[in-house]
Amino acid sequence: MHLWYLKHCRKAVIKPLLHIIKLFSLRREKFYSFIKKTTGLTPGDISIYKQAFIHKSAMIKGKDKRFINNERLEYLGDAMLGAIVANELYNRFPNKNEGFLTKTRSRIVNRSLLNDIALKMGMGKWVNAQSKIDISQTSILGDALEALIGAVYVDKGYQVCEKFVIDKIVHQYIDLKLVARKDSNYKSLLIEWGQKHKKSVHFITEEKHISEGAAPTFIARAAIEGEVIGQGEGFSKKEAQQNAARNTLKELHNKETN
């Protein structure tokens, strides 16, 4: 009876553990396949790709007791993306000046566009972030895409990283000619308006008070000659200022047409 009880207890404990291990292994295999399909590469060090999907809200402790998240890879990927896109635009538009190239690059590396691309790539399923955060309403996906670019660079080097960015991101998700014709850098447009009309333009940006566990948000106010004309919100200071500038340009347009 006692022996039967021990065997029964052992099965009761081991079976759920085996199920958990099986599920973990299956998810690991699916993630590997996702990375391979998304990048077109066979990962060398899969751990670096896993790190690219860990948002700071869900960071974990590594073997060296230090916290791990994707911020360092994001920093690296941001630099790689900017350099690769700059080179592609330089070669694609040989007759355009520096101002055009700079503006077009800023539209491509725009956080909103990167978020959209990451969503279309299916990255949302794999991002590890605090459950209270709705990642579709934050810059988390765009950050993870930059971190993925950084991971490819660390794992495979610059040339492979460049090919990944051009083939799997730019060519698949971005119409360069369309982006080149579209000017959505509202902050730059507002500053240019101020220069044209000889009026000072500045932004007042502050972090919005939020509940614990929610993603930080920012409020920006655009002031002309010291008078606040429009404001906007965003999940980064840059996004908030862009929204504030856009709303201000609308107000200015309404005043000019009335």
pLDDT at 164 over 90: yes
**Confidence band of 21 (pLDDT split at 50, 70, 90):** very low
Same domain, 68 and 167: yes
Looking at per-residue confidence, does 219 or 17 come out higher? 219
Q: Which of 159, 181, 203 is the last residue of a domain?
A: 181
Which residues form the domain of 149?
Answer: 44-181
User: What does the radius of gyration of the chain's CA atoms come to, in whole angstroms?
Assistant: 23
| Lowest model confidence (mean pLDDT) among 18-22, 127-131, 194-198, 233-237 | 18-22
Return the pLDDT at 17.
47
**Confidence band of 8 (pLDDT split at 50, 70, 90):** low
Classify residue 89 as left (phi > 0), alpha (psi -120 to 50) or beta: alpha
- Helix ranges (H only) for the chain are 2-39, 46-51, 71-92, 98-108, 111-120, 140-156, 158-164, 171-173, 176-181, 186-196, 237-257
For the chain, give the mean pLDDT. 83
Summarize the confidence of residues 113-127 as an average pLDDT: 91
Looking at per-residue confidence, does 256 or 191 come out higher? 191
| Lowest model confidence (mean pLDDT) among 85-89, 164-168, 232-236 | 232-236
What CATH number is attached to the domain comprising 84?
1.10.1520.10
pLDDT at 45 over 70: yes
**Confidence band of 168 (pLDDT split at 50, 70, 90):** very high
Return the pLDDT at 230.
92
DSSP state of 204: E
Distance CA 96, CA 212 (A): 48
Helix axis angle, 71-92 relative to 98-108, nearest 10°?
A: 140
Distance CA 244, CA 239 (A): 9
Same domain, 203 and 111: no
Overall number of domains in the chain: 2
Residue 237 within a domain:
yes
C-alpha torsion 215→120→99→253, nearest 10? -70
The answer to whether the beta carbons of residues 204 and 228 sit under 8 Å apart is yes
Residue 35 within a domain:
no
Return the pLDDT at 20.
44
Summarize the confidence of residues 147-152 as an average pLDDT: 97
**Confidence band of 183 (pLDDT split at 50, 70, 90):** low
Q: Which residues are catalytic?
A: 78, 146
**pTM passes above 0.85:** no
Same domain, 194 and 120: no
Return the pLDDT at 151.
97
